[in-house]
Amino acid sequence: MISINGIDFEFKKGNKISDYTKSSNSFKDKKFFVFEKDGRLYDIDTTVEDDSKIILHNFESEKGKEVYWHSTSHILAMAVKIFTKNLKGNERNVKLAIGPSIENGFYYDFEFIDYKFSEENIVEIEKIMQELIDEDIPFKKVEIKKEELLKIYKEKEEKFKIELVENIDQEIVTYYENYSKKYDFRFFDLCRGPHLPSSGYIKFFKLISTAGAYWRGDEKKEMLTRIYGISFPEKDMLLQFISKMEEAKKRDHRVLGKKLGIFSIFEETGPGLIFWNTKGGMIRDIIERFWKDEHLKRGYQLVITPHISKSDLWKRSGHYDFYKENMYIFKIDGDEYVLKPMNCPGHILIYKTKIHSYRDLPIKFAELGTVYRYERSGTLHGLLRVRGFTQDDGHIFCTPDQLKEEVEKVYDFAIFMIEKFGYKKFFVELSTMDRENQSKYAGTLEEWDFAQESLKDVLIKKGVDFKVMPGEAVFYGPKIDIKLEDAIGRKWQGPTIQFDFNLPRRFDVTYIGDDNKEHYVYMIHRALLGSLERFIGGLIENYAGKFPLWLSPVQVSILTVSENSVDYAKKICKILDRENIRYVVDFSDEKINSKIKRSEEENIPFMLIIGKKEAEEEKLSVRMKGHGDLGKKNYNEFLKLFYENL
C-alpha cells in the first residue's frame, strides 16, 4: 500500500506516481505535477520503491509554484537559443548563465555575443515560447558523468555552465533536455530538477522586463542580460498579476520618493547612501520619536554606540572571519578599524561595564544605530537595499526563567508597532536548527531545545498561526520572523526576534545567580522595524505616498485666494503652531486651482483655503484628501475634525 495525501492505493513496486495521479479521479482534476518524499522533490513520473509518505504538489503550493516557474525559465532559455540561431545563424552567439524561480516568477541570465538584446525582442521570444508550449515538449531528465558534461559544454563554449559544473562535487550530475520537432532543436540545461512533465503544463505566461545583472552578482565579472517572466495555469491569475504589477509601478518608492521630496541618492557621494530631504527627515523624526517613547514605556534603556571601532572587536565577535567581505575596513594611526556592520557587540560592551546580579535582569538596551555594509552595486535598490542604514536594534539580557516572558513581551511590542503603522495582515515563521548538522551551531542541543520550545510555546500561547522552518535558524540561535503583507498583497520583511548562544560565550557575558555563581545570560536580539530605510520604503509603497495624518510630513496646507486674506491666514498659522500641527503656506498670487492641484499632488491630508469671504466670516474652506470639499468651518470645528482623524 502507498498513501498519497491521506488516500491509500495498491502499489506495485517500480510503478510511477504519475500512474496514480492520471488514473485516480481523486487526483486527475488537481493537476499534480511533482511530488515530495522525505523532504525532497521528484519528477511526477519517478518510480517509488518503498512506502514512504508522498506529498503531491500542484500550482497551489509554494513548492509547486517554484517547479512551475523554473520549468518556464527553461522554455525561455530554449526560446532565446532558437531566436539567436534564427537571427545569427548560430546558437553559440548567446551563452546561458542561470535561470531560477524567484518569489514572483522567474528569470534567466544570458550573455549575447555580437548582438545587443533589447525590450523589442521580447515579442519574438514570447512567440517562440508559445510555439514550444503548444508543442507540449517533454522534460527529460538525463544523468551523466561530470567529465562528460564538461566536455560537451566546452565544445559548445558555454563558459558559465562550465564554471557551474566544475564547482559540483559529484561524479554524476543531471541535466534536463527538451526537443522541438517544429524547430528541429535540442535544448539541454544543467539542472537538479524536478520539472513539469512537459511544456504543455504552462498555460499562460508573460515576459515582464529586462535588466542588467553581473555574473554571480560581482561587478568585476561579465554584465549579463536578465529577462524576467511569470507564468500561471489560469488566465485570470495572469491578468490579476499584471494588474497588481501595474499598481506596484504606481507605488514604486523610488519614483514617489523623488516626486514627494522624501529622499535623494547622489552620484557625488556614491550608490546606496541615502540623503533624507526635508519631508523624509520629518517622517524619520516622527518615527524615531514614537519609537523611543514606546521603548521607554516598556523599560528599555536608550544607548548610543560609535560608528567605528577597532577590528579586534569584530574578530572577537566572529564577524571579521565570517562577514569580512561585507565590512568596510580601514587604517587609523596604524590600527585597523571597521565601520560597524551591526550594533550587538557595542551593547555587550556597555552591559559589561559592571557586574550584574540576577536581581538586575532583565536589562534591555535599544538603539537607533546606523550601520554600514558593503552591498554589490548590482543589488542596490532605492531604500530597500542600501550600504548605510539605521537599524532599530534592541538586546535583552535575561535569565533562563525570564526568557518566555521577555519573548512574549517582544512579540506583543512587535505586533503593536506594525499595526500602528497600518499593517493588518502578517505571517509568522519559526526558524529552527537542522538537527542532522548540529556542528554548524553554537550552543548545546539541550540549550537549543529549550530556546526553540520557549519561542514555540509563546506563539502557541498567543494563538498565532505560524510555520516552522526546519534548518532555517541562523548559526547562533533560533528565531521568529514576522512577514508583513502590504495593501496590494506583497510580503515585506518585518520584525525579527532572535536568540543568541554565540556572543554571550565569545564575550563572556554573565550574571551572578542566586547561587552566587556566574552564569551566561540568555540574550535576545530583536528588531521591530528593521532598517528604517527599508521600512520607510515599504511604507511609501504600502500607502502609495498617501501617509496617514499622524505620519504625514506636512499635515495641512494653507492656501490664500488673494492678498487681502493673508492676515487672517497668518492668524490661523499661529493656532496651528500652538497645536503643533505641521503645515505649509502658499500666499503667492498664483491661481487657487493651481495651488489646490499642487497640494493634491503632494498628498497633503488637509487644505485650508482662505479667501476674502472666509477672512470676513473667520471661517475656513476645508478640503480633505480622499473626501474633497467639506465646506466652511471655523477653526475650532476644523481642529475637532483634525483630531478625529489623527
Strand partners, 631: 622
Query: Is residue 251 within 8 Å of 540, Cβ to Cβ?
Result: yes
What is the predicted pLDDT for the residue at 600?
95
The Cα–Cα gap between 345 and 313 comes to 7
Residue 53 has pLDDT above 80, yes or no: no
Q: Is 1 helix (H, G, I), strand (E, B) or coil?
A: coil
Q: Specify the pTM.
A: 0.85
The percentage of residues in the chain with a pLDDT greater than 90, rounded to a whole number, is 78
> Which phi and psi angles does 524 have, rounded to 5°?
-115, 125
Q: Residues 108-136: what's their mean pLDDT?
A: 93
Mean pLDDT of 382-401: 94
Based on its alpha-carbon atoms, the radius of gyration of the chain, rounded to whole angstroms, reads: 30
The CATH 3.10.20 portion of the chain extends over: 2-58
**DSSP one-letter code for 377:** G
Q: How much is the pLDDT for 318?
A: 85
Query: Cβ distance 95 to 111 under 8 Å?
Result: yes
Other CB atoms closer than 10 Å to residue 541's CB: what's the count?
A: 26
Asked if 492 contacts 330 with a C-beta cutoff of 8 angstroms, the reply is: no
Query: Architecture of domain 2-58 in CATH?
Result: Roll (3.10)
Fold held by 64-250: Threonyl-tRNA Synthetase; Chain A, domain 2 (3.30.980)
Pairing of the two strands 606-610 and 556-560:
parallel
pLDDT the model gives residue 4: 59
Question: Residue 10 above 70 pLDDT?
Answer: no
In sequence order, what are the residues at sequence separation of 6 or more whose Cβ sits closer than 8 angstroms to the Cβ of residue 64? 33, 34, 57, 58
425-432 β-sheet, strand order: 301-302, 363-372, 388-398, 522-531, 491-500, 479-485, 425-432, 466-470
pLDDT for 28: 61
Give the pLDDT of residue 9: 61
Residue 133: count of CB within 10 angstroms of its CB: 21
pLDDT band for position 127 (cuts 50, 70, 90): very high
Higher pLDDT, 231 or 10: 231
What nine digits make up the cell of 458?
509563546
User: pLDDT digit string (tens) for 454-490?
Assistant: 999 999 999 999 999 988 888 888 999 999 998 888 8
Q: How far apart are CA 356 and CA 351, in angstroms?
A: 8
Query: For 15-24, 369-378, 520-529, which range has the lowest pLDDT when averaged over its residues?
Result: 15-24
- Residue pLDDT, tens place only, 483-513: 999 888 888 889 999 988 889 999 999 999 9
CB distance 523 to 509 below 8 Å: yes
In the chain, CATH 3.30.930.10 sits at: 295-305+340-543
Confidence at residue 477, expressed as pLDDT on a 0 to 100 scale: 87
Positions of CATH 3.30.980.10 in the chain: 64-250
- pLDDT reported for residue 27: 61
pLDDT above 80 (res 13): no
The maximal CA–CA distance of the chain, rounded, in angstroms, is: 94
pLDDT at residue 172, as a whole number: 96
Query: Smallest Cα–Cα separation from 59: which of 281, 245, 270, 231?
Result: 231
For the stretch 422-441, pLDDT in tens is: 999 999 999 998 888 888 78
Binding-site members for Zn(2+) are 344, 395, 525
**Concatenated DSSP letters for 619-641?**
-EEEEETTTEEEEEE-HHHHHHH
The pLDDT, as a whole number, for residue 401 is 93
CA 74 to CA 199: how far, in whole Å? 9
On whether the 556-644 domain is CATH 3.40.50.800, my answer is: yes
Under the banding of pLDDT at 50, 70 and 90, the label for residue 229 is very high
Stretch(es) of the chain classified as CATH 3.40.50.800: 556-644
Comparing 377 with 85, the larger pLDDT belongs to 85
Report the distance separating Cα 348 and Cα 359, nearest Å: 18
pLDDT exceeding 70 applies to what percent of the chain? 96
What's the mean pLDDT when you consider all of the chain? Answer: 92
**For position 551, what pLDDT does the model report?**
97
Q: Is residue 277 within a helix (H) or strand (E), and if so which, with residue range?
A: none
pLDDT digits (tens, 9 = 90+) for 262-278: 999 999 999 999 999 99
574, three cell numbers: 499661529
Residue 575 reports pLDDT greater than 70? yes
* Region 388-405 average pLDDT: 95
Residues 63-119 have pLDDT tens digits of: 999 999 999 999 999 999 999 998 878 888 899 999 999 989 999 999 999 888 888
Is residue 385 exposed (0-12), middle (13-18) or buried (19+ Cβ within 10 Å)? Answer: middle
* Residues forming the active site: 344, 373, 391, 393, 395, 479, 525
CA–CA distance, 278 with 276 (Å, rounded to integer): 7
Whether the per-residue pLDDT at 11 is higher than 70: the answer is no
So what's the architecture of 295-305+340-543 in CATH?
2-Layer Sandwich (3.30)
Grid coordinates given for 350:
556597555
Lowest mean pLDDT among 47-61, 193-207, 298-312, 599-613: 47-61
Q: 10 Å Cβ neighbour count for 463?
A: 6
Q: Which of 637, 625, 622, 430 is nearest to 544 (CA)?
A: 625
Q: Give the tens place of pLDDT for each residue, 406-424.
A: 999 999 999 999 999 999 9
Q: State the Cα torsion 238-240-241-245 to the nearest 10°.
A: 140
pLDDT(56) > 90: no
